[in-house]
Amino acid sequence: AKNVGILAMEIYFPPTCVQQEALEAHDGASKGKYTIGLGQDCMAFCTEVEDVISMSLTAVTSLLAKYKIDPKQIGRLEVGSETVIDKSKSIKTFLMQIFEKSGNTDIEGVDSTNACYGGTAALFNCVNWVESSSWDGRYGLVVCTDSAVYAEGPARPTGGAAAIAMLIGPDAPIAFESKLRGSHMSHAYDFYKPNLASEYPVVDGKLSQTCYLMALDTCYKYFCHKYEKLEGKQFSLSDAAYFVFHSPYNKLVQKSFSRLLFNDFLRNASSVDEITKEKLAPFSTLTGDESYQNRDLEKASQQASKSLYDAKVQPTTLIPKQVGNMYTASLYAAFASLIHNKHSELAGKRVILFSYGSGLTATMFSLRFHEGQHPFSLSNIASVMNVGGKLKSRHEFPPEKFVETMKLMEHRYGAKDFVTSKDCSLLSPGTYYLTEVDSMYRRFYAKK
């Protein structure tokens, strides 16, 4: 199989959201802390009728319908998620309801979990399957689904929720450059979920930021090394049109991109211009550790990378800024933003993605765009996802109502024997929602 990659995409995020500006005021944070300090505009969240299973049911059903894919044509289904609803039964098995109905139970794959990285693991599994000798000619399907919620405190505004479904196969408009990959994996306690009675993570915010940036540097180093071996020349930021990052909040994405420019400067890559060299020169002797803490370096590299950021990163930031951190779906929501914004001018271009999951696992990899053929064309993917329409039809909750919802969800997490309000008035037609969890913890869903 040639040009294996993403043929089609669909995204779903809850229509319920809270404005960061309102949340900031409600939390007693200083004005601008969430909107400028974190760079976030709005945050989506699940109410008591939605969860990672309902969102993924919605995304998969919608993808199959809108691209007219017969469920029998799916041969592998992989789910990435870090939202634990069951310690044994995979989310994938819930999604099998869709396929059983059309008589297809011959589908490989289960769930992958490591914080926000599970979606990338799932994606690689599907791509590798299509490229392998066990491929049977059918499509792979990847689902990233998460509800990111934090306890009250500084991490709470960095929540979010979404599900993304991606169809995998050959001759894709979004093809993997499979040789161009650099990973970094190591043991860290930056963000983890050891308390199985709570949906909230234990998070060392400062450490998680440093872990993210160190993983980025290391992945970029390996990535550049592989590129050089393959292409016989140095890689620099000018060799890709766009850079897409796992996006816990936009400020970290800004810092990440400027960090890549700093890496180019240190490697003396050809693309770094004279002004940048001058601006970054004072920092060339810092040790790695020092460089993560140095505020002047952060400022100087952000200034130096500003116009490159606007061209190569800004078009990827819409959904993560509007919806928040979607954990496994976060990177692919940023990628979906790029397709939404630029679908008509992407053909032929290279895009670099950086996936990060705390704990920690990270990979930088490369994709190449092609025009594609209907229904698997970039313009059709953009129109199916209808990002603009979905963002516009949301309902803003006041912060008080958001906090109240979080309290109810805390109570419901891991609980049994309850029925939900079944209130689906805010959901659009075709959306799945939770109706009941019975005395045996079995979950029941309905479709609006």
Task: In angstroms, give the least distance from the CB of 437 to ligand ACO.
Answer: 27
Catalytic residue among 246, 340, 343, 370: 246
Task: In angstroms, give the least distance from the CB of 205 to ligand ACO.
Answer: 3
Task: In angstroms, give the least distance from the CB of 202 to ligand ACO.
Answer: 11
| Residue placing its CB nearer to ligand ACO in the complex, 227 or 245 | 245
Position closest to ligand ACO via CB: 37
Q: Are strands 350-357 and 174-185 parallel, antiparallel or unpaired?
A: unpaired
**Which burial class, exposed, middle or buried, applies to 440 when counting CB atoms under 10 A from its CB (0-12, 13-18, 19+)?**
exposed
Cis peptide before 167 (omega within 30 of 0): no
| Residue placing its CB nearer to ligand ACO in the complex, 33 or 448 | 33
DSSP 216-245: HHHHHHHHHHHHHHHHSS---GGG-SEEEE
| Residue placing its CB nearer to ligand ACO in the complex, 32 or 348 | 32
Locate all alpha helices (DSSP H) within 232-361, ordered by sequence.
250-267, 274-280, 288-293, 295-312, 318-323, 330-342
The site for ligand ACO (CB under 6 A) is made up of 30-33, 36-38, 116, 154-155, 158, 191, 203, 205, 208-209, 212, 248, 251-252, 325, 358
CB atoms within 10 A of CB 155: 20
Angstrom CA distances, 122 to 97, 126, 286, stand at: 20, 6, 38
Catalytic residue list contains 246: yes
Q: Give the integer Cα–Cα distance in Å for 224 and 278.
A: 23
| Residue placing its CB nearer to ligand ACO in the complex, 176 or 200 | 200
Catalytic residue list contains 116: yes
| Residue placing its CB nearer to ligand ACO in the complex, 62 or 358 | 358
Angstrom CA distances, 163 to 25, 55, 131, 360, stand at: 29, 6, 25, 22
Catalytic residue among 17, 42, 116, 219: 116
Task: In angstroms, give the least distance from the CB of 191 to ligand ACO.
Answer: 5
Catalytic residue among 10, 50, 78, 82: 82
Task: In angstroms, give the least distance from the CB of 69 to ligand ACO.
Answer: 31
User: CB of 258 within 8 A of CB of 301?
Assistant: yes
Catalytic residue list contains 26: no
- Catalytic annotation, residues: 82, 116, 246
